[in-house]
Chains A and B, each alone.
Chain A
Amino acid sequence: MTAAVSFHRVSRHFGSVRAVDQVNLTIEEGSFFAMLGPSGSGKTTCLRLISGFESPTSGEIRIFGQDVSHVPPNRRSVNTVFQDYALFPHMNVRDNVAYGPMVAGVGKAQRHAKAEEMLALVKLDGFGDRKPGQLSGGQRQRVALARALVNEPRVLLLDEPLGALDLKLREAMQDELKALQQRLGITFVFVTHDQGEALSMADHLAVFNEGKIAQIGTPAEIYDKPRTRFVADFVGSSNVLPPEVSERLGGGKRWSSLRPEALRLVAPEGAQLSGTVTGLRYLGAGTRVAVDVAGTEIAALAPSGADIPAAGAAVGLAFDAGALHLMEEA
């Protein structure tokens, strides 16, 4: 596999703030790569380093093996879907999509044909004459996608592309983006703060924290085997247990994580963990039961249909031996 994008000890500082700090990263060609992290973690800056809107303070960025650290955005074979879509309000949809070929000097008939082709790809045939202001949020997002794809980029960058859409539309677009990526076979790199979105869409993801990559791997690796407390906590609200508790539960004296869905509610007598219920949160598919175990709050996910204890009740928690994941931090 060739590397579509690679970072070699890349840093980007803004004054004294290290937005991106000594990042090494390889994104393989044809992958759907997610950069996940809270706001201010450096994920967006990394995306802007790839598109060329930021220059690295130090380090080297390569796109398909070529050093692009000092190449301006208009000469990189990557295109971006912007968070606010950044459609040109004074042009109709067709001219927006045909913008790339237009600045490249492609004739009118040809670039309009190309634009129509792209609009068909994102299922917006017949919308060419409308102005962006006349479209819904979801349609605007599709136009932005078509416009970014028209230049046939080798890497498509998406900056929180679904952030402004409502839940239903967001889920539909997630499937569609995934299908589109598989059909086109080009590398997608997308930035998100939504861990569910990252896990469901990406085939590889990097979790960012404070300008560094906390962990990189497949969604299953990240979810099941978080390396640090931060990753365990950020990806899927896991129970993070301190070293003493891990040890008592049969692990080593290190921090560990225990997924709420791996815990079963049992009778308190003889259970691996026991405590009192402090809170209940109904989630539809199940109920999240918060249990205070000797001062540590542990959440369990009780499937719908199970007996839900009342707040204040004494309960026990059971789990299979393999469910306790020991992390690297002691």
Chain B
Amino acid sequence: MTGTSAILPERGLADRLSTLFWRRPKLLLLLLISPPLLWLGIVYLGSLAALLLQSFYSIDEFSGVVKEEFTLKTYGELFRAANMDIIIRTLVMSATVTITSAFVAFPIAYYAARYARGRWKAVFYLGIMLPLWSSYLVKVYAWKLILAKEGIITWAAEGIGAGFLLDAVLSLPWVGGNSLSTSFIGTWLVFVYVWMPFMILPMQASLERVPLSMLEASADLGASRRQTFRTVVLPLAMPGVIAGSIFTFSLTMGDYIIPQIVGTSARFIGQAVYQFQGTAGNIPLAAAFAMVPILIMLVYLALAKRGGAFDAL
């Protein structure tokens, strides 16, 4: 290569652009992140701000017109017994769904992270993701049929002579009902099913990052399997558990379709928001209701952080 220049010739626009980005790396970064930032900043945070603003307005009880004046009156309405019931019901349901999902998801995630290899790993991902491919509504209606009085669960329970067990469960106060599909137990089962992938995947990701040598070190130092689980596996998996629980908790708190289709006539926050902003035309109260899950999530994250859930990040 004698006689050639030390600098290779530029080959058109692509080379000129890449030279520009090489000289000013921040320009490329800016170009890459500004569309998502605009999206998040304006569309998302903007609507959140609008929501927050609306929640400080109130509705004129006679005319039904929104009064655009700052007041805490709408928030005060949340504390009325009927509204508190909705909030507490949603909170308890979300917590129960989250805890159940965590318990069911952990062994699955642990197996996938620790033992599944090659083909089995693919089967795992397929199995977890497959339910997400079908329509949410189809799944919920399918569950309604499964849980209905004439459904397969009742049929199977009676078939094996366990009908009395099902009746006993359904006769429980609060959570029971006429059939599984018209009880809180049914709502809970469907929530757990529908949100399960959102719990398994982050858990699996965090468990995957725990090296085997760390579990071996724990055993080497004399820890039993139980101690290793409590002092090493669980703390290291905690960021994943928290991430998963944020999904299941917030998705349950915001959902208004599942309790509409499966469950009792008692309302959840999502349904209340839907009704207040729609038929009732009470946008301020709908906004105030919508702020509740956001506030609860903030409190939840603060507690998780204080509890050391993110120490391993």
Complex: chain A residue closest to B308, CB-CB? A90
Stretch binding the partner chain, chosen from B108-116, B213-221, B280-288: B213-221
Taking the closest CB of chain B, its distance from the CB of A186, in whole angstroms, is 15
> When the two chains form their complex, are residues A100 and B221 in contact, meaning their CB atoms are under 8 A apart?
yes
- For the complex, count residues of A whose C-beta is within 8 A of B: 27
> When the two chains form their complex, are residues A103 and B216 in contact, meaning their CB atoms are under 8 A apart?
no
Q: Which residues of chain A have C-beta atoms less than 8 A from B221's C-beta? A: 74, 79, 99-100, 103, 147-148, 150-151
Query: For the side of the interface on B, what is the size category?
Result: 20 to 34
> When the two chains form their complex, are residues A86 and B214 in contact, meaning their CB atoms are under 8 A apart?
yes
CA distance A74 to B224 in the complex (A): 7
Stretch binding the partner chain, chosen from B151-159, B227-235, B268-276: B227-235
CA distance A53 to B221 in the complex (A): 12
CA distance A106 to B213 in the complex (A): 24
CB neighbors of B among A51-91 (8 A): 51-53, 72-75, 78-80, 82-84, 86-90
Query: Looking at the complex, which one of B222, B227, B311 makes contact with A90 (CB distance below 8 Å)?
Result: B311
B253: Cβ under 8 A from any A Cβ? no
CA distance A100 to B220 in the complex (A): 9
CA distance A79 to B312 in the complex (A): 25
Q: Which residues of chain B have C-beta atoms less than 8 A from A151's C-beta? A: 221-222
Complex: chain A residue closest to B224, CB-CB? A74
CA distance A147 to B211 in the complex (A): 18
Taking the closest CB of chain A, its distance from the CB of B223, in whole angstroms, is 4
What 1/0 mask marks residues of chain A from 77 to 121 whose CB sits below 8 Å from any chain B CB?
011101110111110000000011011100000000000000000
B236: Cβ under 8 A from any A Cβ? yes
Q: Which residues of chain A have C-beta atoms less than 8 A from B308's C-beta? A: 90
Main secondary structure of the interface of B (DSSP, over half): helix
Most buried by A among B224, B231, B235: B231
Q: Which residues of chain A have C-beta atoms less than 8 A from B232's C-beta? A: 88
Complex: chain B residue closest to A98, CB-CB? B221
> When the two chains form their complex, are residues A89 and B312 in contact, meaning their CB atoms are under 8 A apart?
yes
Q: Which residues of chain A have C-beta atoms less than 8 A from B220's C-beta? A: 51-53, 73-74, 78-80, 148
Query: Looking at the complex, which one of A73, A88, A103 makes contact with B227 (CB distance below 8 Å)?
Result: A103
CA distance A87 to B236 in the complex (A): 12
> When the two chains form their complex, are residues B213 and A83 in contact, meaning their CB atoms are under 8 A apart?
yes
**Given A84-B211, A103-B227, A72–B219 Cβ distance below 8 Å?**
yes
> When the two chains form their complex, are residues A88 and B214 in contact, meaning their CB atoms are under 8 A apart?
yes
CA distance A90 to B234 in the complex (A): 11
What 1/0 mask marks residues of chain B from 172 to 193 whose CB sits below 8 Å from any chain A CB?
0000000000000000000000
> When the two chains form their complex, are residues B236 and A103 in contact, meaning their CB atoms are under 8 A apart?
no
Query: Looking at the complex, which one of A86, A89, A100 makes contact with B222 (CB distance below 8 Å)?
Result: A100
Taking the closest CB of chain B, its distance from the CB of A218, in whole angstroms, is 29
**Given A80-B220, A90-B236, A90-B312, A103–B211 Cβ distance below 8 Å?**
no
Taking the closest CB of chain B, its distance from the CB of A80, in whole angstroms, is 5
Taking the closest CB of chain B, its distance from the CB of A6, in whole angstroms, is 20
CA distance A89 to B222 in the complex (A): 19
Q: Which residues of chain B have C-beta atoms less than 8 A from A104's C-beta? A: 222
> When the two chains form their complex, are residues A86 and B236 in contact, meaning their CB atoms are under 8 A apart?
no
Query: Looking at the complex, which one of B211, B217, B311 makes contact with A80 (CB distance below 8 Å)?
Result: B217
Taking the closest CB of chain A, its distance from the CB of B232, in whole angstroms, is 6
> When the two chains form their complex, are residues B222 and A103 in contact, meaning their CB atoms are under 8 A apart?
yes
Please list 16 pairs of residues, one from A and one from B, whose beta carbons are closer than 8 Å in the complex, sorted by A's number. A51-B220, A52-B219, A74-B220, A82-B217, A84-B213, A86-B216, A88-B218, A99-B218, A99-B221, A99-B231, A100-B222, A104-B222, A147-B217, A147-B221, A148-B221, A150-B221
**Beyond known contacts A86-B216, A103-B223, A103-B227: 7 more, CB 8 A cutoff:** A52-B219, A53-B216, A53-B219, A86-B213, A89-B236, A103-B221, A151-B222
Q: List the 9 closest A-B pairs by CB distance, nearest first.
A: A86-B217, A86-B213, A100-B221, A103-B223, A90-B312, A73-B219, A90-B311, A90-B235, A74-B219
